[in-house]
Structure 1
Amino acid sequence: MSKYNALKTPAEVMQELVGKIQELRKKDKISQLELSKRSGVSFGSIKRFETTGQISLESLLKLAYFFNRLEDFTPVFQIDADLGSVEKLFSSKTR
Structure 2
Amino acid sequence: MSKYSVVKTPASVMKGLALKTQQLRKKTGISQLELSQRSGVSYGSLKRFETSGQISLESLLKLAYFFDRLEDFTPVFQIDADLEKVEKLFSNKTR
Q: TM-score range by the shorter chain?
A: 0.7 to 0.9
- Residue 56 of structure 2 corresponds to 56
- Residue 29 of structure 1 corresponds to 29
Looking at both structures, which has the greater relative contact order when contacts are Cα pairs under 8 Å and sequence separation is at least 6? Answer: 2
User: How far apart are the structure 2 equivalents of 1:15 and 1:43?
Assistant: 18
**TM-score after normalising by structure 2:** 0.81
Is residue 77 from structure 1 mapped to residue 85 from structure 2 by the alignment? no
User: Alignment RMSD, CA only?
Assistant: 2.2
Q: Which protein has the larger Cα radius of gyration, Structure 1 or Structure 2?
A: 1
Q: How many residues align?
A: 86
**TM-score after normalising by structure 1:** 0.81
Q: Which runs of 5+ in 1 are unaligned?
A: 88-95
Q: Which has the larger helix fraction?
A: 2
How far the C-alpha of 1:80 sits from its partner, in A, is 1.4
- Deviations 1:31-86 (CA, angstroms, capped at 9, x unpaired): 000000000000000001011111000000000000000000000011111225xx
Aligned residue for 1:75, secondary structure, equals coil
Is the 1:45–1:55 contact (alpha carbons within 8 Å) kept by the matching residues of 2?
A: yes
**Identity of counterpart residues, as a percentage?**
75
